[in-house]
Structure 1
Amino acid sequence: MKKLGIGLLVLLVVGIAGTYYLEIWLGKRIPEVINANPDRNYDLQFEEIDIHLLKKGVELKKIMLVPLDDSLATKMNGSIRSIEMSGVDFLALIFNNKLEIGEIKLLEPAFRLIQRDRKSNANESSKAFQDLFKDLISRGVIKNFFLEKGTAEMFMDKDSLYRFGQFTDLTIVAHGIESDSLIAKNVIPFKLESIATSLKNLKINTDTNQEFRIAEASYSSGKNIGTLKGISLKYNEGLDGARSKSEFQKDLIQLDIKEFELSQIDTESTIYGNWAIFAKLARIDSLVLEDLRDKNKPRPDEPIKPLFEGMVEAIPFPIKLDSIKVTNSTISYKEILQGKNEPIQLNFQEIQGSITNLVSSDSLQNQGSLLVDVTSVLNGFAPVKMKIDIPYGTKSFALDASIGSFNLTALNEIFEPMGKFRVESGTLRGLKLSMDANEKGSSNQLNFDYENLKLEIYKSDGQQRSKNGILSSVANLLTSKENLPGSKNYKISTHWTSRNPYRAPFHLIWISTKDGMMAIVPSGLGNIFMPDSKK
């Protein structure tokens, strides 16, 4: 028994000593294996390593991510608080110099992305992160990958480093990775069983002095849903500041979106490498879009503006969405007229509706149509409905729009800033517009039904505004007080409107409506409705 006890004690001591020296040997071998891939773009340099043979675990601490190719247009560096590996096959490491890991976890990585090419975009940045994760996972056979509490800063290297973006709280959970099967669709670019990702506080400064933000983004392959919350695109100095700095007249646009959700996402979709988004359903909740144009600014030499089909085709990556649901949204158009300081404003509020078959690529359109069907309320008083049929491949569109009944005096908030007239009384019973439009213009029919219309015309006395009694009397004599279906002199306008090719299709819709209204209101009164520069 004594000899047996001594033997066991010796075996225990040898085992402990062997384990100790094996852990020391592995502590030297693992760094060599981790950085052994000749095709790697990064070295992992760390200060501490803990080996846990019995638990089949390895922990690296205080890691530095060091790029090996300094000539890359987009490169990454940074630090990682620790990398935890579990389910490590130490026998494969000892006898085959191969890392086989059940699970790897990156804790609190802090990445720095540096772009040298000013033309690089978010597409290039996302691909840089994808290439990094590919580089890390390609160092062994890794079944599951976790990343927690990741942060990143994005810089432009132009004489000195300029930070143009950042995000926090990056989380990645990827199961069932097949590291010998590349699929460039995911942030982890391999075939895998499931993946869930999220991040917060994304901020990107654009070349137009705007800041793009996403408060929270997430994607789950299990639920097949991607969600973006708290989206905004705003000028750093606000719309008025951007207008004052703008040399030319242009549309200054900023927006907020409470939530954007994609569901039933097709496997062909990717936001890494070459972007492509294919999904059955998209949902936009609480979009608030502002568009400001100052007509006191000179117009620049502008390219010809496309119709709706061309606007969709201009999306810089393939997109195919079967249906988009829009809820609780507002679009505001503000225009400062020539010689004026304050804008007139059109607010389309309470927008609800759907967009069907949004396809940006010619090869995917298959001669179908993009359909838009929305309702809204104009400036809080006028119910609006609009349907647009945009056949792909034709450079045309058909539109049916209507405005419901309201008191016409409500229009004074729009017309009075023009300094020409105000509506003293009147009721709109309904306005309907039908358009068949192409690149040259539109063939239109307008019904403009109203009653008890009475106008008050202003004198042109510089900044002073006073009623012109004579013109008011003449205007009300020339104007039919009513234009209602069934009346003897009921008018419907059927007319052609030429398109200004340097303005967007919404401008053609407005001009077609105005032309029809001016045809129904006596033509001699038309000058009253138009600013002096347009007479």
Structure 2
Amino acid sequence: MTALKTGRRFRWILASVLLFVVIAFFGGRYLLLSKIRDTLHNRLGDLRSKGIYIKFKSAKINTWSGDLNISDLQVSVGLDTTNRDFSAAIPFLQVSGFKIIPFIKNRTISIKNVALEDPALSFRLNVKAPESETRNAFFEDLYINRITITGSSFLLKDSVSQDTIAHVKSDFFVEHLGLERVNDSLAWRQSSVHIQGFAFDLPKERYAFSVKDVRLDLEKHTFEVDTFKMTPKLTRKQFMRENGKEIDYIKAVIPYIKVSGFSLRGNPGIAVDIRKIRTQLFMEVYRDKRLPFIKDKRTTLPSNFVQRLPFDLNIDTLRLDEGLVSYEEFPEKGDSSGAVFFDKLQATVIGISNTKAPDKQTVMHAKSKFMGKGELSVDFTFPADTTKPYTAKGSLKNFPMVKLNDMLGPAAKVRVESGTMTNLKFNFKYNVYRSDGNVELNYEDLRIISLRQNSKKEIKVSMIKTLLLNTFILKKDAQEDDKDDSKTGTILFYRDQKRSIFNYWWKSIFSGIKSAYKIDKLQEFTEDLKKNDRAKPSKR
């Protein structure tokens, strides 16, 4: 009998304890969430005095499930009511699965899901950050299992005129977002980010940009971009007319960018480390040389550009798996454009860094089919010490020179009838101001015709210049023994610091080709011929 009473008493005590725990848990949960709600309500009043305004149509808190639903949420920051520094309009915000125990135990905010529908955000440039103030941290750690943002729209506005500088649209998906408090800042923990339908428009620019898919996984240290496109908004003619100056008209597609060994550090400054990048590139460039060249800024050489980045950058290997680059140019004097292209383009760049020792350098090797035929191979070095010279060397083999007619066009006043460049070698050094080196030419069965335009603007063969070119200036074969001619040329070119690095490379090589072919000698022969004709006595 005593044992039976003891058992009943134990069951009553156990039931009472369980009931107390349940009441304490749910009651504490209700009181805590209510406390959070009241604290946030009071906090909103404090924020208004600092120019931070938050309002919403309705807010529902389910204390049992830990869900929060807010409709028509509006946030604005800035004392100027007509030109806010930041504003956001979120038709619907849902937070679900807020866990109480971790927050009570160590002030860790743990949330199952956060969802935003059609958020529209606007941010004004050149806004001075508010002075930091000392306050107790609301939380120590933050963990959100999944964040879903659909139909987002982000506007970046000018600080003065309020004009839109950039407009971004996309869907965002973030999994396992973790923020950990380290001293006075928050550090990223492992998480992954997925962005779909990423499209951004620059109204003041004449290009549209889009990205099909972006994925960032901090746990796997990978970053991938699927199908980046850069497309002009205007036709060539409209583009050139609106710019009114010599400028590149570009169409570009990057099918993929795959980054492995990616890490991002933020203490004390931002640092990006990457083990390997793989990508593809297909690009078309057009330029109209008939327009004036107007450019106020100087073009920075590669090493100088990397050194001036506002963050530390280290990339072990950058590899272009496949590419096609074409360049079309309408000459200053001429009636049609000429083009060149580099097919089956592959390149590897090793050691891109702005933190390496001054005696180190970045090395690049590239190869392609020039004009779909010639075997082009080049090697470049970019010194970490920007006071030291850059180097470039390479070769072009087995190139049918009639393919140059596509590039030369009528404006060049010459046409290649036959010939094969068996091997063109170049080697030169260059700095900010000039390039110096040499070119070696080996070709076979070369014949060039000089062209002229008659009074009817018809293109005709200039017999005299053709004779001079093929008899005195050129040799049918570079191997021919002729002490008055040479198959080597000297590279000497003074850089136009407003032109691109590609212009610098090409003009340097071309200066050596002109020297080897003694192209300038043709003008001397022509002038001498004209003088002799004028000096001859006229017949009566």
Instruction: Output the TM-score relative to the length of structure 2.
Output: 0.78
Q: Which amino acid aligns with 1:385?
A: S
Q: Give CA-to-partner distance per residue, 1:228-266, whole Å, 9 cap, x none.
A: 222233332144432221122234445321111221113
Identify the residue that residue 60 of structure 2 maps to in structure 1. Answer: 49
Distance, in Å, in 1 between the alignment partners of 2:313 and 2:62 is 48
Identify the residue that residue 212 of structure 1 maps to in structure 2. Answer: 209
What SS does the corresponding residue of 1:339 show, helix, strand or coil?
coil
Give the drift of 1:309.
2.4
Distance, in Å, in 1 between the alignment partners of 2:446 and 2:240 is 37
Residues 85 and 101 in structure 1, CA contact (< 8 A), matched pair in contact too: no
Give the drift of 1:211.
2.5
Residues 427 and 452 in structure 1, CA contact (< 8 A), matched pair in contact too: yes
Identify the residue that residue 387 of structure 1 maps to in structure 2. Answer: 379
Residues 166 and 201 in structure 1, CA contact (< 8 A), matched pair in contact too: no
Q: Which amino acid aligns with 2:147?
A: L
- Does residue 1:166 correspond to 2:160, yes or no? no
Distance, in Å, in 1 between the alignment partners of 2:230 and 2:266 is 24
Residue among 316, 322, 343 paired with 1:349? 343
Alignment of 1:514-529 (within 5 A): 514-523=510-519, 526-527=522-523
Alignment of 1:218-233 (within 5 A): 218-233=215-230
Identify the residue that residue 321 of structure 1 maps to in structure 2. Answer: 315
Between 1:310-319 and 1:202-211, the stretch displaced more is 310-319
Q: Which amino acid aligns with 2:256?
A: E
Give the drift of 1:220.
0.5
Alignment of 1:358-373 (within 5 A): 358-359=352-353, 361=354, 363-364=355-356, 366-373=358-365
Residues 491 and 175 from structure 1, CA distance in 2 versus in 1: closer, same or farther, beyond 3 angstroms? Answer: closer
Q: Which amino acid aligns with 2:212?
A: A
What SS does the corresponding residue of 1:411 show, helix, strand or coil?
helix
Give the drift of 1:479.
4.0
Distance, in Å, in 1 between the alignment partners of 2:182 and 2:444 is 75
Give the drift of 1:350.
1.4
Give the drift of 1:527.
4.6
- Does residue 1:297 correspond to 2:291, yes or no? yes
Q: What are structure 1's unaligned runs of at least 5 residues?
A: 1-12, 132-136, 184-188, 529-535
- Does residue 1:401 correspond to 2:397, yes or no? no
Distance, in Å, in 2 between the alignment partners of 1:484 and 1:302 is 43
Between 1:106-115 and 1:34-43, the stretch displaced more is 34-43
Give the drift of 1:51.
2.2
Identify the residue that residue 459 of structure 2 maps to in structure 1. Answer: 465
Q: Which amino acid aligns with 1:460?
A: Q
Residues 236 and 276 from structure 1, CA distance in 2 versus in 1: closer, same or farther, beyond 3 angstroms? Answer: farther
Which one has more relative contact order, counting CA pairs under 8 Å at least 6 apart?
A: 1
Identify the residue that residue 85 of structure 1 maps to in structure 2. Answer: 96
Residue among 247, 260, 279 paired with 1:284? 279
Q: Which amino acid aligns with 2:272?
A: I
Identify the residue that residue 429 of structure 2 maps to in structure 1. Answer: 436
Residues 64 and 484 from structure 1, CA distance in 2 versus in 1: closer, same or farther, beyond 3 angstroms? Answer: same
RMSD over aligned Cα atoms = 4.3
- Does residue 1:448 correspond to 2:441, yes or no? yes
Count of aligned pairs: 498
Identify the residue that residue 260 of structure 1 maps to in structure 2. Answer: 257
What SS does the corresponding residue of 2:514 show, helix, strand or coil?
helix
Residues 283 and 325 in structure 2, CA contact (< 8 A), matched pair in contact too: yes
Q: Which amino acid aligns with 1:382?
A: G
Distance, in Å, in 1 between the alignment partners of 2:79 and 2:318 is 44
Distance, in Å, in 2 between the alignment partners of 1:314 and 1:290 is 28
Residues 109 and 139 from structure 1, CA distance in 2 versus in 1: closer, same or farther, beyond 3 angstroms? Answer: farther
- Does residue 1:31 correspond to 2:37, yes or no? yes
Distance, in Å, in 1 between the alignment partners of 2:42 and 2:410 is 72
Identify the residue that residue 8 of structure 1 maps to in structure 2. Answer: none
Give the drift of 1:329.
1.2
Q: Give CA-to-partner distance per residue, 1:459-499, whole Å, 9 cap, x none.
A: 22263112223332332222443344585655322443333
Distance, in Å, in 2 between the alignment partners of 1:23 and 1:307 is 62
Q: Which amino acid aligns with 1:75?
A: F
Alignment of 1:482-501 (within 5 A): 482-485=476-479, 487=481, 491-501=487-497
Alignment of 1:408-423 (within 5 A): 408-423=401-416
Between 1:296-305 and 1:31-40, the stretch displaced more is 31-40
Give the drift of 1:338.
1.0
What SS does the corresponding residue of 1:518 show, helix, strand or coil?
helix
The alignment-based identity, stated in percent, is 15
Q: Give CA-to-partner distance per residue, 1:501-526, whole Å, 9 cap, x none.
A: 33333323222322322233244555
Between 1:316-325 and 1:481-490, the stretch displaced more is 481-490
Distance, in Å, in 2 between the alignment partners of 1:159 and 1:307 is 34
Residues 426 and 451 in structure 1, CA contact (< 8 A), matched pair in contact too: yes
Give the drift of 1:369.
0.8
Residues 140 and 180 in structure 2, CA contact (< 8 A), matched pair in contact too: no
Between 1:494-503 and 1:35-44, the stretch displaced more is 35-44
Residues 150 and 390 from structure 1, CA distance in 2 versus in 1: closer, same or farther, beyond 3 angstroms? Answer: same
- Does residue 1:67 correspond to 2:61, yes or no? no
Q: Which amino acid aligns with 1:146?
A: R
Larger CA Rg, structure 1 vs 2: 2
Identify the residue that residue 121 of structure 2 maps to in structure 1. Answer: 113
Give the drift of 1:219.
0.5
Residues 79 and 302 from structure 1, CA distance in 2 versus in 1: closer, same or farther, beyond 3 angstroms? Answer: closer
Q: Which amino acid aligns with 2:319?
A: K
Between 1:395-404 and 1:206-215, the stretch displaced more is 206-215
Distance, in Å, in 2 between the alignment partners of 1:373 and 1:428 is 22
